[in-house]
Structure 1
Amino acid sequence: MNIPPYNKRPDMGRLREIVRVMGKYHFGNILEAIGLKNRLFESLKLYIKSPEEIHEPAPVRLRLVLEELGTTFIKLGQVLSTRADLVGREIADELAKLQDEAPPFPFRDVRRVIESELGMPLEDIFSEFQEEPVASASIGQVHRARLKSGEAVAVKVQRPGIAATVKSDIILMKYLAKLANDRIPGLEYYNLPGIVAEFERAIRKELDYHQEANNAERFRAMFLDDETVYAPYVYREYSTSRVLTMEYVEGVKLTEILESDIKFNARTIAERGARCYFKQIFIHGFFHADPHPGNILVQKGNVLCFLDFGMMGHLDRSFRDKLAELFILLMNYDVNGIVNQLRYMNILTEDTDLEEVKYDIMDLLDRYYGADVKKVGEILTEFTMPEMIMKHRIRIPRDFVLLARVMSMAEDLGERLDPRFNGLEVAWEMTYSLMRKRLNPLRNLDEVPSALIELEHIMNDLPRGMIRALQRLEEGKLKMELEHRNLDEISRRIERSTNRISVAMLVSALIIGSSLVAIPKEALILQKFPFLGLFGFAVSFLIALALIISIIKSRKMT
């Protein structure tokens, strides 16, 4: 999806709609701050609810604004719900309630999209196709069908025109983000244009069903040998960027289990869910980033089946190893170890006061530690709050924030299934197992091929790099960039000190010379009196006096 940059002209009709909805929910102060209450909107009659009609706090009103503005803004809210480090815990929790639901679009449009994408009539692909969707969202809807070969499938079809709507809204978001970033003091820290750019990447992936198919296949391969976790099979020959055909899976959604008296082994489900998530995070570094109960089915035998692979998180091997170490330190209440580990993970910066952050971590752990610790996800989420980030000048990797949110959601889900369940028992077992494997000397053999490749690159590049550097040095084209701070002031001070040392040396020389001349045997004596020696002493005295006065004045000035 090619989304134009923010400097393209925004849709003024849509902009008026945004202003109307924001005014309706009493966000007029924001409109005024970014300069949208100008003559262009004076004639726009806003329906603004009276204070008596609105009793909800700002986070709730923000959610209502996004819901009313539709698809793109709902998706933006869902992305921001994973960034508590930017919007704060209260807003993130409220935005997590956004439901991506929309009225279904007509079957004739479904047929047109499928036949256009797959290049053949619907009847030549499916022996059965239910016209009523089993689920309908803002980007697409899902229909149950049966292939000619007999397999039951779920066909996800993208809503017609949704890509164009998203493009238009992205242009508006970039326009508004730049206005707010330029005109509201203090917002530079949040980098609103950067947030919109991150959202653009996320929704670009969600609009491309090829990406979701790749995610589903990778997840399925991860748990192919695990009888407790399942992922549907993707029928690639019947999938495109706008149509996704997957195996239809029978099961009961976790939402139904939580809200009804359906008999399942809740403790088994909670334990398997915890093992599944820790395996995704620590072993594979590829995890399902939306563990909403509606995205997880429970099949016979308490088998967990994951759905909707549009949002996934990624962690590289080095970060996973450090994360496992951090978990062990958290569970052991090792504050000094936690601080050091956060430094190794490049989360603490040079500007961080290590003593201050240590005391804040102690306070944070004390809030959660007791007879039974269950909330590591909560601890990580608290650490990624804006207050901590700004106070200690720490930098949080995006996937670390996403990981904290996912773990927190998984912990809450496990607790709702079984209040007695403690997922950290699973985490403890798995992280220690990973650490034992990591300390195994044979583990390093896996890294030999990549190390040899890197060594080969260095051996190939080093001679060429040295030759280029020598050529530039010979030609006088070698450039060096130095960053200096307050060097002018340092130079002035060095110059003053050097001058004073020079004058002091001169005075010393004059004194010594005058002393020698004043000796009767060596002096030029006029009537037996060493006038030349006394003259040298007088000059030395005056220069020394001037030097002392200069030093006193410079101290007063500084």
Structure 2
Amino acid sequence: EIKNGQEFYRLNNHQGIFLVPKIYPKYSTQKILVCSAMPGNSIKEFADHPLSKDAAKSVEQKKQRTYLARALVENFIKQVFVDHFFHADPHPGNILFWKIPEFSAHIPEFPYQFPTNLPNYRLIYLDFGMMGHLSPSLADGIANVVLALNTKEPRSIGQALLAICNRTGEVDQEEFYDQLSIFLAPYLNSGLGEIDFSTLIYSVIKLCRQNNLQAKPEVTLLVKAFGLLEGLVAQLDPNLSLMDVARPFGKKYLRQKFNFKHEAEDTLVNLFQAAQSAPKLPIKAEKVLDLLLQGQGRMNIRYKGQDSLLNRVEQLINRLMVTIILAAIILSSSLLVQGSAGHPAIYNIGVTGYLISFVIIILLILDELRRHFKHKK
């Protein structure tokens, strides 16, 4: 927690209206964390405070709340996509709101200087026991999901999601894309400002889990933090669109990731390779036609749900083989029992065959019931 606090202090203290307490490792122990005393009260008290009945004051208070909400979102975006180190528990109890006194002479030793271009209040983060770390590649993957949501193309969104998930089993990507397309349809037909992103993300993670995809732990932690922060932002300004706040960052992010010089070089290389391959196309086409005319051509076709169907066919064949063997055992046992007069050993063999057949039948019935209830669930 000491290291987390020091790193968060370095990255966020005096970033706009944000302050962070300074940690003192020299005076801290395993059970006591010593940091600078911070003024202010929980931002929940400010958010819960009713608006003034005076029209002018009410407008000013609304502007203040909108400013705070935007500042929280912009700072959180910076933590995730610039610092790759974010506060994973930003509930209202861990964020203080402090209005700077008009007469700073009352606090002459307070170690902060206040820029004149900022309002006369600050937000203060506390409690750095739960923090999230993102690798640059994972942060890029999350950014790609957000950008894909902006394109409203389910396949692009699905491909971006696959990049930030671990596979816990076999994944049918086409089936996943189809399910995702149906799920996202009502969201994609809505304006971005109308989407409840925390609910959307939780539902998408649930859909991923149903398709043997598991969100990486860092992503789950990020979703939790985002849900907490969004609840606070919605309380401060219910009309604030998170995408409107994030859009300037998205443009800046794209400019940073898109290197025109490199893209131009890659395009020229691809064009050169295509120009080299173009004269060979007629020869390759002739070879393909010769193979088809000689009957040596082969085409691999894979259809949707192929693996599931093949597994089902295999199960049916196995059941059929078991049934045939079961019928043979019952028939053989019947012949042994019928012809065992005066031969107890042969009679016992026949009875044993009956018992084995009975046990197998019971197991088949139980397995079928299990499949039925599992499918129904």
Report the TM-score, using the length of structure 1 for normalisation: 0.39
From 73, 80, 83, the counterpart of 1:274: 73
Q: Offset at 1:364?
A: 3.2
Residue 234 (1) aligns with residue 47 (2): no
Pair 1:417–1:225, CA change in 2 (3 A): closer
Q: Offset at 1:366?
A: 3.1
Question: Residue in 2 aligned with 1:352?
Answer: 171
- Greater relative contact order (Cα < 8 A, sep 6+): 2
Q: Offset at 1:344?
A: 3.1
From 133, 137, 141, the counterpart of 1:318: 137
From 281, 284, 288, the counterpart of 2:83: 284
Q: Offset at 1:252?
A: 2.5
Question: Residue in 1 aligned with 2:187?
Answer: 368
Conservation of the 8 A alpha-carbon contact between 1:233 and 1:247: yes
Partners of 1:213 and 1:259 in 2: CA distance: 32
Residue 296 (1) aligns with residue 95 (2): yes
Question: Residue in 2 aligned with 1:256?
Answer: 45
Unaligned 5+ segments in structure 2 are: 52-60, 100-119, 264-377
Partners of 1:373 and 1:443 in 2: CA distance: 37
Conservation of the 8 A alpha-carbon contact between 2:98 and 2:121: yes
Q: Offset at 1:248?
A: 0.9
3-state SS of 1:243 partner: coil
Conservation of the 8 A alpha-carbon contact between 2:172 and 2:211: yes
Question: Residue in 1 aligned with 2:159?
Answer: 340
Conservation of the 8 A alpha-carbon contact between 1:437 and 1:443: no
Could you list the per-position Cα deviations for residues 297-347 of structure 1 after superposition, in whole angstroms to 9, with x for gaps in the alignment?
Answer: 112334221011111111100111121111010122121111222233354
Partners of 1:254 and 1:225 in 2: CA distance: 18
Q: Offset at 1:441?
A: 6.7
Question: Residue in 2 aligned with 1:222?
Answer: 11
Could you list the per-position Cα deviations for residues 50-70 of structure 1 after superposition, in whole angstroms to 9, with x for gaps in the alignment?
Answer: xxxxxxxxxxxxxxxxxxxxx
Partners of 2:187 and 2:233 in 1: CA distance: 17
Pair 1:393–1:226, CA change in 2 (3 A): same
Correspondences of 1:177-256 after superposition (within 5 Å): 212-256=1-45
| Paired residues, number | 231
Partners of 1:358 and 1:332 in 2: CA distance: 15
Conservation of the 8 A alpha-carbon contact between 2:8 and 2:20: yes
Structure ranking higher in helix proportion: 2
Conservation of the 8 A alpha-carbon contact between 1:222 and 1:284: yes
Correspondences of 1:6-45 after superposition (within 5 Å): none
Partners of 1:220 and 1:441 in 2: CA distance: 35
Question: Residue in 1 aligned with 2:200?
Answer: 379
Pair 1:396–1:360, CA change in 2 (3 A): same
Could you list the per-position Cα deviations for residues 89-141 of structure 1 after superposition, in whole angstroms to 9, with x for gaps in the alignment?
Answer: xxxxxxxxxxxxxxxxxxxxxxxxxxxxxxxxxxxxxxxxxxxxxxxxxxxxx
Q: Offset at 1:414?
A: 0.9
Partners of 1:404 and 1:390 in 2: CA distance: 15
Correspondences of 1:421-436 after superposition (within 5 Å): 421-436=240-255
Partners of 1:310 and 1:443 in 2: CA distance: 41
Conservation of the 8 A alpha-carbon contact between 1:343 and 1:349: no
Question: Residue in 2 aligned with 1:331?
Answer: 150
What amino acid does structure 2 have at the position aligned with 1:303? R
What amino acid does structure 1 have at the position aligned with 2:230? E
Q: Offset at 1:367?
A: 4.1
Conservation of the 8 A alpha-carbon contact between 1:266 and 1:418: yes
Partners of 1:356 and 1:382 in 2: CA distance: 17
Pair 1:302–1:225, CA change in 2 (3 A): closer
Q: Offset at 1:373?
A: 3.6
Partners of 2:158 and 2:79 in 1: CA distance: 26
Conservation of the 8 A alpha-carbon contact between 1:329 and 1:338: yes
Partners of 1:243 and 1:442 in 2: CA distance: 53
Conservation of the 8 A alpha-carbon contact between 1:235 and 1:246: yes
Unaligned 5+ segments in structure 1 are: 1-211, 445-558
Conservation of the 8 A alpha-carbon contact between 1:375 and 1:408: no
Conservation of the 8 A alpha-carbon contact between 2:86 and 2:131: yes
Partners of 2:203 and 2:229 in 1: CA distance: 16
Partners of 2:45 and 2:211 in 1: CA distance: 43
Question: Residue in 2 aligned with 1:488?
Answer: none
3-state SS of 2:215 partner: coil
RMSD, aligned CA: 2.4
Of all paired residues, the percent bearing the same amino acid is: 27
Conservation of the 8 A alpha-carbon contact between 2:87 and 2:128: yes
Partners of 1:404 and 1:257 in 2: CA distance: 25
Question: Residue in 2 aligned with 1:401?
Answer: 220
What amino acid does structure 2 have at the position aligned with 1:213? I
Pair 1:403–1:349, CA change in 2 (3 A): same
Could you list the per-position Cα deviations for residues 343-391 of structure 1 after superposition, in whole angstroms to 9, with x for gaps in the alignment?
Answer: 3335457722222222332233234341334433332221222xx2442
Pair 1:332–1:223, CA change in 2 (3 A): same
